[in-house]
Structure 1
Amino acid sequence: MRVTTTLSLPRRPSSVTRARHVLATLLSLTDAAEDSRGHLAVLITEACTNAVLHADPDSTVDITIVIDDDVCLLEVGNRGSIPAGAGLDAALPAPLTVGGRGLPLITALADTAAFVSGPSDQVLLRVTKHLTGVRTSPVP
């Protein structure tokens, strides 16, 4: 099964919840196991939260979700720039009660995660996650 959707949401905290609900709805169409669904909920929450917090003020949060058999691809983009020193190999901050957990959590839960090229003024985070429990389509 292949399911694709694209969202362009306003840069506000409620958009994080909306994106998570759309992803959960799409995942409900699959046989994905609860652990995969939970990991993806954290992944989209952290990616969208970062976009809301760090995007240019008049930017939208642009999200693409693709579920293709047993793989889920998430792309979260916004207008802005990657903060200096931010990377997907960052360690968790100490103490854990402050910000800065998003990218390390994304790295820990995703199968792949990378900032990829997009339009010159765009930040685009691409995340993939293999879904456990999903039966892949038989080859005809």
Structure 2
Amino acid sequence: MRVSMSLSLPRQPASVTRARHVLNTLLSLTDATEDSRGQLAVLISEACANAVMHADPGSTVDITIVIDDDACRIEIGNRGRTPLDAGLDAGLPAPLTVGGRGLPLIAALADTATFVVGPPGHVLLRITKHLGGVRAATPRRQPSPCGAPLDT
């Protein structure tokens, strides 16, 4: 199954929640595991929060979500600049109460995460995550010939 959606949200904190809701809705159409869903929720939340915080004033947060069979790709773009020290391989800051933990969390949870080179003045973060198999199937109950349900 292939599901995709692109949207532009205003550069405001409420857009983080909206993006997460859209992703959860798209994932509900798939057999993604609960672990994958939870990790993807953190990934899109952190990436959108960074875009909202660091984008140029008046710009939008542009999001593309593509779910293709067993993988999900999320792209978060905005007008701005990639920070010079925007390494996705950095460790978590100490103490954890300070900012700067978004990119390390993204790097730890994503299968791949990279800043994609684009036009000057634009930032695009591409994240991919495998969906990790299918959810456990709930046993279906089928009626027996005499009307009592049978487990299958």
The answer for unaligned runs of 5 or more in structure 2 is 136-152
Deviates more, 1:83-92 or 1:10-19: 83-92
What TM-score results when the alignment is normalised by the length of structure 2? 0.87
Please name the residue that 1:138 is paired with.
none
Please name the residue that 1:39 is paired with.
39
Question: Which structure has the larger Rg?
Answer: 2
Tell me how far 1:79 sits from its aligned partner.
0.3
Please name the residue that 2:110 is paired with.
110
The answer for unaligned runs of 5 or more in structure 1 is 136-140
Please name the residue that 1:15 is paired with.
15
Please name the residue that 2:131 is paired with.
131
Aligned residues: 135
1:40-79 mapped onto 2 (5 Å cutoff): 40-79=40-79
What RMSD in Å do the two structures reach over aligned CA positions? 1.0
Say which SS state the counterpart of residue 29 (structure 2) adopts.
coil
Tell me how far 1:10 sits from its aligned partner.
0.2
Say which SS state the counterpart of residue 29 (structure 1) adopts.
coil
Tell me how far 1:119 sits from its aligned partner.
2.1
Cα distance in 2 for partners of 1:126, 1:63 equals 10
Greater relative contact order (Cα < 8 A, sep 6+): 1
Tell me how far 1:118 sits from its aligned partner.
2.0
| 1:93 counterpart letter in structure 2 | P
Conserved? CA contact 1:2–1:66, under 8 Å: yes
Say which SS state the counterpart of residue 62 (structure 2) adopts.
strand
Give the 4+ runs in structure 1 shifted more than 6 A: none
Cα distance in 1 for partners of 2:119, 2:4 equals 21
Paired-residue identity, %: 79
| 2:27 counterpart letter in structure 1 | L
Tell me how far 1:39 sits from its aligned partner.
0.4
